[in-house]
Amino acid sequence: MYGRLVGPAHTSALTVTINLAKALREHGDLAEAADLFQAALGRIDPGDKGRRAQFIAAGLGLGRTLTDQHRAAEALPLLQRALELSRERFGREDWRTGEAALALGLCLASSGQQVRAEPLLREAASTLELARRGHPRLAQQAAAALAKWTRAPRRQAGGS
């Protein structure tokens, strides 16, 4: 409804779409979440620096959702791009960059690439620990992921 009032590519409509997709993902409705993240990405010009934060959020959300759906090969380029853009836009110490590092690290780890995942999980845990007060759930997720995947038997970057 809101998108019809202001137009689906309006900044506020995109924010609503991305937030709804995040809520659906957290609720477990992965297919619907993926569709909404994809729709949001389709409405954002990646070159528009004014919408870079929304592009990062939508790409990160879609990548996390694809990882949850065991579609790591599809998620990987989205998450790599989200981390790259987040570092560029927000800096390495920002919680949003920590969240992107966590998502990419989890994607790599879940696809058997623990050696590549570990430095990202360490980066995420360190960055998000500094932001624990404002983002306690993310900080806890990063710490738990680091503990889980650094105890797991290591596999090489190819997943074998």
> For residue range 1-17, what is the model confidence (pLDDT) as tens digits?
555 665 667 788 999 99
Contact 124/112 with Cβ under 8 angstroms?
A: no
Mean pLDDT across 110-130: 95
Instruction: Please write the tens of the pLDDT for every residue from 36-78.
Output: 999 999 999 888 888 999 999 999 999 999 999 999 999 999 9
Distances from the Cα of 22 to the Cα of 36, 68, 76, angstroms: 9, 13, 18
Please give the model's pTM, rounded to 2 decimal places: 0.88
Which residues lie below 8 Å from residue 108, measured CB to CB, with a gap of 6+?
72, 76, 114, 116, 117, 120
Burial class (CB in 10 A: 0-12, 13-18, 19+), 133: exposed
Contact 60/97 with Cβ under 8 angstroms?
A: no
Contact 72/117 with Cβ under 8 angstroms?
A: no
Q: Give which of 28, 116, 16 is closest to 64, Cα–Cα.
A: 28
CATH class of 2-151: mainly alpha
